[in-house]
Chain A
């Protein structure tokens, strides 16, 4: 290159005038515990995203090394400024820093590309598989669909867990709370429900979203690994806001999850979303509200804690055909302390949801897993979505188990029982065994129906109680091997026809003959 060309370039650089655009800015006046007070930003709106200008006074090379832009979320509009929460490392914010308004409401990316990925509460990938290329931005805060746009729940969402599908059925678009003390298997129930969706035809299989709120990173990693091993990660998105994340991200994660889900629902797809768990979200929101100097109420939670959960869970819906017919089914989880379901947050969420399943420590410790207390668990809308086949076998199940629980308590004191009572206890004991299920082993609906039909027809009455669970597994395997057509028919029609009943009865006889050692052991 000759010297004249170089001179020309230098001259051009010298005369270069970069385009300039104006931005609405404010200045950080206070920073602490993830919350900043900003002076200025008089045109800011609630839930607007602001950008902290970290590069000021730094050399170009240093500014380039910054780990992406640092965002804040406006949560309080005050007389002479705003208060915002930092969506990232608060150590990067200093007093006097310039804050730019973006004019944008917080949004997260969503789309098919997110399937099989792990993202943070801002929708940024955190699984090391690279950035997203083709996504649609969805607003994190959005008004839920109104009455006209919805239709009632009528399609079942099978969890693969016998006790739930039979007695506390869930429909697509429903909100069913999973509640219980720590270590009672709440997450396991939710994960099994995700895994079971692999049994659904691909066209109608719900997209699953697991939102880990304030969980240990090791637990989330284990869940992701389990989903991957079971082949469930392909249709699942994991939104992770770990316990180590700032409170703002923990509080936002469920909203981000549902925003991602709404993309699919708007496209007419079904979505299953798990919020694990909303107690931790409430705690994070309480922390944030106190730092924002909002007045504390009961248990120091802010006055809008009910609205926080109701506006989140109202976004679960089943849309009308005009709106595409998509749905979001929400399974929020709440952790109780010492089984106290009458605490503030549990009662709030119980009143918002369409039913709840209580998991009880006593049952868990007795080895009854899933440890669902069917007496106080309920599904208010799910029965409308239950298949006819399941309805026909699960009709009296809940009552039978409730009666058994009463008799079981009585049995501890009474030494001499009449035959009817003894039979009822024997039947109840076996039914409890049939409803037991290992974790990570959901069962398709048709197999559940067959097993429950057999159980309700006293098939297991001659089996020793300690061998019922094993026998049930063997019987289902036997049906799968010998009567595939019958199982396929139940799956296809959703009905347990007279022919199918006859076939199951025949199979029961054949199985009994094939396994005399099991049935003779009880005698």
Chain B
């Protein structure tokens, strides 16, 4: 039930209603229905939704070595520009298991240009695994 209230609150705020007004309206509704005790759980559910949504907006660029970052950043931006996507919040992480290349994940899309993926593809095509 708290998920439903939290989702409704998120939608209302997302549609442009000031947050304090939306929360006030929700509190009054809960009070009138005798469900005020749900408030902490609604807050937690709201936090989860907010976290999920912010993760959807952002993107993570993973590189194998720190020194590859600049090159990967430029390439990833070029790919995103070709796709017509503008990412403001581009975090960078280092994962040496990638061996080389880069990997961009965010907004429901994954672009994998890592050496590891390439080698795994070769392995799969050779072994039929």
Contacts and interface: CB of A to CB of B under 8 A. Distances in A.
Interface string B105-122: 100111111111111100
Interface stretch (A51-59, A143-151, A411-419, A433-441): A51-59
Contact of A16 (B49, B115, B117): B115
Contact of A18 (B52, B83, B101, B129): B101
Contacts of A55: 116-117, 120
A63 B108 CA distance: 23
Interface in A305-353: none
A23 B129 CA distance: 20
Which residue among B7, B56, B97, B113 has the maximum number of chain A CB atoms within 10 Å of its CB? B97
A147 to B, nearest CB: 42
A25 interface: yes
A448 to B, nearest CB: 48
13 contacts: A19-B113, A20-B112, A21-B112, A22-B79, A22-B83, A23-B109, A24-B110, A25-B108, A26-B108, A57-B97, A60-B99, A64-B123, A80-B7
Contacts, number: 70
Nearest to B123: A64
B109 A25 contact: yes
Contacts of B49: 80
A346 to B, nearest CB: 38
A40 B116 contact: no
Given A57-B95, A57-B97, A63-B120, A18 B105 contact: no
A165 to B, nearest CB: 45
B109 A24 contact: yes
A39 B79 CA distance: 24
A373 to B, nearest CB: 51
A201 interface: no
Contacts of B115: 16, 18
A26 B105 CA distance: 10
A98 interface: yes
Interface string A23-34: 111110100000
B58 interface: no
Interface string A147-176: 000000000000000000000000000000
Contacts of B83: 22
A80 B75 CA distance: 31
Which are the 5 A-B pairs with shortest beta-carbon distances? Answer: A20-B113, A18-B118, A25-B110, A40-B108, A23-B110
Contacts of A98: 105, 110
Contacts of B117: 18, 55
Interface in A77-117: 79-80, 98, 100
A17 interface: yes
B22 to A, nearest CB: 19
Interface string B24-57: 0000000000000000000000000100100110
A426 interface: no
Given A18-B115, A23-B111, A40-B56, 16 more contacts: A20-B79, A20-B111, A20-B112, A20-B113, A21-B111, A22-B110, A22-B111, A23-B109, A25-B109, A29-B52, A42-B108, A55-B116, A57-B95, A68-B129, A80-B49, A98-B105
Given A59-B97, A63-B120, A24 B111 contact: no
Nearest to B115: A18
Contacts of A43: 108
Interface of A: 13, 16-27, 29, 39-43, 55, 57-60, 63-64, 68, 79-80, 98, 100, 131
Contacts of A23: 109-112
A59 B111 CA distance: 19
Given A60-B97, A60-B99, A64-B120, A22 B108 contact: no
A26 B55 CA distance: 11
B113 A17 contact: yes
Interface string B64-101: 00000000000100010001000000000001010111
B18 interface: no
B109 A18 contact: no
Contact of B97 (A18, A26, A58, A64): A58
A26 B56 CA distance: 10
A100 B118 CA distance: 16
Contacts of A21: 111-112
Contacts of A25: 105, 108-110
Contacts of B100: 13, 16
A20 B105 CA distance: 13
B128 interface: yes
B18 to A, nearest CB: 23
Contacts of B112: 20-21, 23
A156 B49 CA distance: 61
A55 B55 CA distance: 21
A312 B129 CA distance: 31
Nearest to A29: B52
B108 A17 contact: no
Contacts of A40: 56, 108
Nearest to A60: B116
B113 A60 contact: no
Nearest to B53: A80
Contacts of A17: 75, 101, 113
A375 B75 CA distance: 77
A43 B101 CA distance: 28
Nearest to B118: A18
Contact of A63 (B52, B101, B116, B128): B116
A29 B79 CA distance: 28
A487 to B, nearest CB: 50
Contact of A100 (B95, B110, B123): B110
